[in-house]
Amino acid sequence: MSDSIDPAVSSSPPTKENYSLMPILLPLVQAKLIVVGFPFLVLVLVLLHGIFSTPYYTASTRILPPQYNQNTIGRGLVTMGGESALGNSALNLKNPTDLFVGILRSRTILDGVITDNDLIKHYEAKDIDSARGKLASRTGIESGKDGIVEISVEDSSAELAAQLANSYVKELQTFSGELAKREGGRRTDFFNNALNRARQSLNEADERLRQVESKTGFTRLRGQDEAIVSGVRDLRSQLADKEVQLRTLMSYSTDSNPDVKLLRNEIANLNSKIQEVSGLPNTPNQASGTSHTALTLAQVPDALMLHSQRKRDVEYWVNIVTILGQYTELGKMDETRDFSLFQVLDVAVPPLDNSRPRIKLNLIVFGLGSSMLVVFYVWARAYVRQRRSSSDYFASQWVILKAELLKMPWRQSK
């Protein structure tokens, strides 16, 4: 088509004016009073605020939580044979650093610091709750990866800031010592009660063993069963020997021979003893009127079993009493451990420089921010003016936008 316009012909080649910085610099130069005056005014206000505002100081102290001697207790339990899943799980505690941070943020510690330093009067608070809130907002407690807890307190007085930081450590030491004593006391009471019950059971088992010993004649000495069997064997050996002597004597003498009568009496006595030991009932002693306590050979197995059972009961309760006694001693040692053993790495000292307001930093931040803000404002204003002069549609839309922004809320409701 002959009437079409060739883009290559209609488009004008770029000129040097298209790359000029004048459209950017000219609005800034024209509004030089605003560009320079607004940041200067902001800097003056920031400087005056820093000079006349109350300075605040931050004092810090650092503490190292204790390495729990539960490991020592664990080794003691292993020595006593207490290496069990239950024993190991009882010794597993949380991270001591997190535990200390939680304790330092507790209401008990805060109230102790407030009371010791009369912070209700210093903060001009209505009650202790208000003072607690102000103290908590001015206190920073952080734990590092190295396991060190840092306590930072901010106050308008450098001396008081250091005093408050050190007061946290003092209250922590007092509270943790009481906590360790209560915990160790409960553990010791538990083991003491268990130890008393075990001792009572040991006494009962020992009494049952003594009754069995008095009834059967067995004692806690070893070899009594072998002695009984050996005694029967000796009696039978003596009986056989006497019978041989009697047969030899009867070959050349009569029954009226005194030696024959003596041997027969001895044989009768030996038979009586063998029958008595082998299972005949106990016969009363005519001389003393008491019964024999010696056991027959048939009664030995049952007596041995009963005696062994009672002896095992005694040994069992002896072991229980020994272990509980060791637990109790470890619990008493544990009452003086843990929290009160933390170390103060850095004691808080009154700081020389205030932590806020930071005048230099505030001047830099507010100076750069106000300069960037005023530059963007000047460029935006120049752009709007240029568009309004070159486009009627933009100008009309700008008027409508301005009118909408200037409308009041109560006018919109009418």
pTM attached to this predicted model: 0.52
Lowest mean pLDDT of 85-94, 266-275, 276-285, 389-398, name the range.
85-94
Q: Is the pLDDT reported for residue 118 higher than 50? A: yes
- What's the one-letter identity of residue 278? S
Instruction: Identify the weakest region by mean pLDDT among 163-167, 229-233, 310-314.
Output: 229-233
8 Å CB contact between 105 and 140: no
Q: Are 55 and 354 in contact (CB under 8 A)?
A: yes
pLDDT digits 0-9 by tens, 122-172:
888 888 888 888 888 888 888 878 778 888 988 888 888 888 999 998 888
The pLDDT value recorded for residue 341 is 64
Q: What's residue 19's pLDDT?
A: 57
Q: Please tell me which residue, 67 or 356, carries the higher pLDDT value.
A: 356
* Residue range 324-370, pLDDT digits in tens: 888 877 777 766 555 556 788 888 888 887 777 777 888 888 888 88
How confident is the model over 1-17, as pLDDT tens digits? 444 444 444 444 555 55
Q: How many separate helices (H) and strands (E) can be counted in the chain?
A: 16, 4
Domain boundaries, the chain: 21-53+365-397, 54-200+335-346, 214-283+291-322
With a cut of 80, say whether residue 404 has pLDDT above it.
no
Q: Contact 195/324 with Cβ under 8 angstroms?
A: yes
What pLDDT does 355 receive?
Answer: 72
The single residue listed with the structure tokens 């009932």 is 281
Top CATH class, 54-200+335-346: alpha beta
* pLDDT at res. 97: 78
- Region 68-95: mean pLDDT is 46
pLDDT of residue 342: 74
Is a pLDDT exceeding 60 seen at residue 87? no
Helix, coil or strand: residue 290: coil
Residue 79: pLDDT over 70? no
pLDDT of 306 above 80: no
| Torsion angle, alpha carbons of 65, 68, 69, 75, to 10 | -150
162-183 residue pLDDT tens:
889 999 988 888 887 787 777 7
pLDDT at residue 183, as a whole number: 74
Q: Which residue has the tokens 């800031």?
A: 161
pLDDT number for residue 136: 87
- Per-residue pLDDT averaged across 207-234, rounded? 65
- For residue 275, pLDDT over 50 is answered with yes
Question: What interhelical angle do 96-104 and 158-216 show, nearest 10?
Answer: 120
List pLDDT tens digits, range 234-269: 667 777 777 777 777 677 767 777 777 777 787 787
Cβ atoms 206, 285 nearer than 8 A: no
Report the share of the chain in percent with pLDDT over 90.
0
pLDDT of residue 42: 86
Q: What is the mean pLDDT of the chain?
A: 73
pLDDT at 50 over 80: no
Contact residues for 412 (Cβ-Cβ < 8 A; gap 6+):
none
Residue of higher predicted confidence among 199 and 27: 199
